[in-house]
Amino acid sequence: MAKDTMAASQKPPLELLRESKSSIEEIIARMLSIKKQGTPKSENRELLTQMFLNFINLRQANRAILIEEERVKTETESPIDLTALQLHNLMYEKSHYLKATTSSREFKSKYPNIDLISEQDFFTDAPQPIKSQSLSNHDLMLKRLNFELHQRKEVCKLRAELEQRKKSLLEANAERSKFLSTLPLLLKSLKKASLPVQSQLCLPSPKKLRYHDLAELLPPPLYVVYSKFMAQKEAFEERIDVEVSGSLKDAQSYAKQQAESSDDDNGKRQRKRPRTESSDEAVHPLKLVLHVYEDETPDPKSRKLVMLKFEYLLKLNVVCVGIEESQDGLEKNILCNLFPDDAGLEPPHQSTKLILGDDHAFDESTTSRPYKWAQHLAGIEVLPEMSPFVTGKDTQNSDTASVSDQHNVQTVLRRIRSQKKGGM
């Protein structure tokens, strides 16, 4: 162990930092593997010892990096001061030259309103009849004025050509604008004419494609619910419709914020980004709407029974479900009675209770509640508060069967239909 510490101290700090980080990640992965596989935990003590040694190496590498940084800073202070002094002198000279240039430009000549080109450009660009190699100062000024007149005449000709071209382009744009104004009607008629072909080829509708695009921005729990219901509909032709509603702009903005936050975490920045305060019940911009029809088998005449709305509370990591456009208390009881002891009034798991408090309960008047069956459906594991060894074997088996039913989309839909028809 001492040899490892001595060997680590002889390595470069950055290499030691990378090796310690990789070793810690491997140890944590090994500990998680032991925990998941249920193997004996006798290796944990040795793994913890190795992890502490790696933490010591991290502190050593960090200290070495800070010492090196302080040394480099000390060595560069003197050149920086010298460079700053040279910069100050250069800025002073620049100010002096600018003042001299300004005073020269403000000098009033005989032709104050004409900005002539320089003499070098004049001898380079002027035609041979205008310029001459041996000129006095007065003749040179006259020649430069003649060249200025020549240039302005050429610019006037170019302007006339451009004006004519502009006129022709405006006429062409007017014709195209007229065509574009009639294009929506043409596209609408084309879309209407293509519907039979789309139906025969079993192509997905534009509305369905738009929902798939929106589904990519759903939070993971709602996406799990969306994928389960879509798989149930496509595999068994279940009489349901799944829609994604909400603000696309807000969802894209939230996804961008999450990506930037993830980039900051992966970059291991020392300066932390300021966290924005949000309420405990902040809701994701996108929601999932489920339309449940009366018959399980495909039937065009089947009427709509109920419409459910799935929401995701960001900070609480909770999925809430409610009856869309509910006006009476009868429809609320449909979801409350789907599974025993799941009225949706208490936080569904321990982390939510820690955030809200043990005595927190959701309002009975709200139609959207965090039912446990909704968490199971969304892939959010809800661990029992009591150990299976305390509750007993029979209770454990019944709870396991109940949780299995709550994972089953077909069972949830069947119970919703049964509760709705029973309440009617």
Q: What is the pLDDT of residues 208-230, one digit of tens each?
A: 656 677 888 999 999 999 999 99
pLDDT band with cut points at 50, 70 and 90 for residue 272: very low
pLDDT at 413: 92
**384 and 236 share one domain:** yes
**295 and 416 share one domain:** yes
pLDDT at 200: 67
pLDDT band with cut points at 50, 70 and 90 for residue 276: very low
Is 104 among the domain residues? no
Cα radius of gyration rounded to whole Å, the chain: 38
Mean pLDDT of 125-139: 67
**182 and 307 share one domain:** no
**219 and 367 share one domain:** yes
Is 31 among the domain residues? yes
pLDDT at 366: 77
Is residue 422's pLDDT more than 50?
A: yes
pLDDT in tens, 65-94: 888 888 888 887 778 888 888 999 999 999
Is 80 among the domain residues? no
Mean pLDDT of 261-289: 67
**212 and 123 share one domain:** no
Is 330 among the domain residues? yes
**251 and 164 share one domain:** no
d(C-alpha 311, C-alpha 219), whole Å: 10
Give residue 330's Cα distance to chain centre. 40
SS3 call for 11:
coil
Place of tokens 């738009």: 210
pTM here is 0.50
pLDDT in tens, 367-405: 789 999 999 999 988 777 666 666 554 544 555 556 676
**129 and 253 share one domain:** no
Is residue 363's pLDDT more than 70?
A: yes
Is 102 among the domain residues? no
Among 203, 226, 251, which residue terminates a domain?
203
Q: Which helix (H) or strand (E) holds 22?
A: helix 13-37
Query: What percentage of the chain reaches a pLDDT higher than 70?
Result: 76
**390 and 260 share one domain:** yes
Task: Report which of 272, 387, 405, 391 is spatially closest to residue 338, judged by C-alpha positions.
Answer: 405
Is 82 among the domain residues? no
Helices (H) and strands (E) in the chain, counts: 14, 4
Query: What percentage of the chain reaches a pLDDT higher than 90?
Result: 26
Among 185, 203, 221, which residue terminates a domain?
203
**153 and 217 share one domain:** no
**197 and 210 share one domain:** no
Among 176, 203, 230, which residue terminates a domain?
203
Number of domains forming the structure of the chain: 3
Residue bearing the bigger pLDDT, 72 or 116: 72
Is 98 among the domain residues? no
**135 and 158 share one domain:** yes
Range of the domain at 54: 2-74
Is 249 among the domain residues? yes
